[in-house]
Amino acid sequence: MGELRIIERIRARTSASNAVPLGIGDDCAILRPPPGHELLVTTDFSLEGRHFRRDWHSPASVGHRTLARGLSDLAAMGAKPLAAFLSLALPKSAVRNSSWLDGFLDGLLALAAAHNVPLAGGDTSQSPSDDILADIVLIGTAPAGRALRRSGARAGDLLYVTGALGGAAAELTSLSVTPRRFRTASPTDDHPHLFPQPRLAVGQTLLRRRLATACIDLSDGLSTDLAHLCAASNVAAELDLAQLPLHPVAATLDERAQITALLHGGEDYELLFTASPSTKIPRSVANVPITRIGRILKPQKKRPQMSIVSDGARFELQPHGWEHLT
Ligand code: ADP
Ligand code: MG
């Protein structure tokens, strides 16, 4: 397969859409955003050896995860996906034999179909090394001035999370020990690491119903992403350890590892958001449970930016770490 054959193979699996009057095949794609909307753009690398390993992740998982990371960024801002662009660098072996590419497209295009995201273009090249590199660009839309941001949290707001935490980290640990057990994993089962589900419907509902004051997606882990939200909003936050929803996949870990997975496990791709205490937040949105996990405080010099309360004791929470407060 040459570059043209690869592009043709990808194009054959995509279809026209109202939002994309011109997709793969010309020098540029043409997009048609709804009137009165702004464009939101996010881009994410998926690099072999850094974000995935071919001996751990099936091609379909790599395709799914590549798109999921971009979609989760759109979800965090309450945006609706308009189109995706995929740049791929494939090593010689994967150019000659299309089976890796076909599996990758199976995973990527199944998730794209589930969320109605047209693949509108990209770039294809032979990788200069033996590594596969994929870059995804997602374009989304939101009503002008309404996109959710990290910076809107205010002291007194309550802190919520979608779904459950720690599952992706726990599954990654099992994957590293027994990769063969996961060879046939499919997105229809609950696989928080291999097939994370971006929370687009929740994000769009938060925006449409004006429920959230700030929002971020959990890609780096709760402690790190909460720190980002606090910094952007110039506030402090307090978590209630007992309220953090543990993913069932993490329930087999010992207690200490569970707490680490909850607080610091990355790649859950859930949404962390704040809402005014006078806003009634539903217990679930689009079949995704929502849990109140803490509150936003005024920043004070003598108080850490983030703390956890557990059994009446208070701990300082640092990104990727925690310490007892005296
Ligand atoms: P150009 O050299 O003008 O950039 P290309 O030959 O790179 O054109 O691409 C031809 C068409 O195929 C373009 O519409 C481009 O967006 C699309 N395309 C190339 N690679 C990919 C890919 N990996 N995924 C989706 N579309 C692609
Ligand atoms: Mg090109």
pLDDT exceeds cutoff 90 at 90: yes
CA of 197 to the centre of ligand 2 (A): 30
> Is the confidence at residue 149, as pLDDT, over 90?
yes
- pLDDT, residue 326, reads 40
Report how far ligand 1's centroid is from the alpha carbon of 141 (Å): 23
pLDDT for the residue 321: 56
121, two tokens = 């273009």
- Segment (H or E) for 199: none
Residue among 6, 7, 95 to mutate when testing ligand 1 (max atoms within 8 A of CB):
7
- CA angle 20/77/249 to nearest 5° reads 105
* pLDDT value at 269 more than 50: yes
**pLDDT, tens digit, for every residue of 20-59?**
999 999 999 999 999 999 999 999 999 999 999 999 999 9
Residue nearest to atom 21 of ligand 1 (CA): 122
Atom 2 in ligand 1: residue holding the nearest Cα: 27
Which of 112, 119, 136, 138 lies closest to 40, judged by CA? 138
Phi-psi region of 234 (alpha: psi -120 to 50; beta: other; left: phi over 0): left
Kindly identify the ligand whose nearest atom is closest to the C-alpha of 123: 1
Ligand 1 atom nearest residue 26's Cα: 14
Pocket of ligand 1 (CB under 6 A): 7, 10, 24-27, 86, 88, 119, 121-124
* End-to-end Cα separation, the chain, in angstroms: 64
The tokens describing 10, both together, are 């990808």
Task: Examine the pLDDT at 225 and tell me if it is beyond 50.
Answer: yes
122 Cα–ligand 1 center, Å: 5
* Mean predicted confidence (pLDDT) in 283-304: 96
Of all protein residues, the one whose alpha carbon is nearest to atom 19 of ligand 1 is: 123
- Predicted confidence (pLDDT) per residue in 229-241, tens digit: 999 999 999 999 9
Element spanning 265, H or E: none
Closest C-alpha among 273, 259, 177, 174 to residue 217:
273
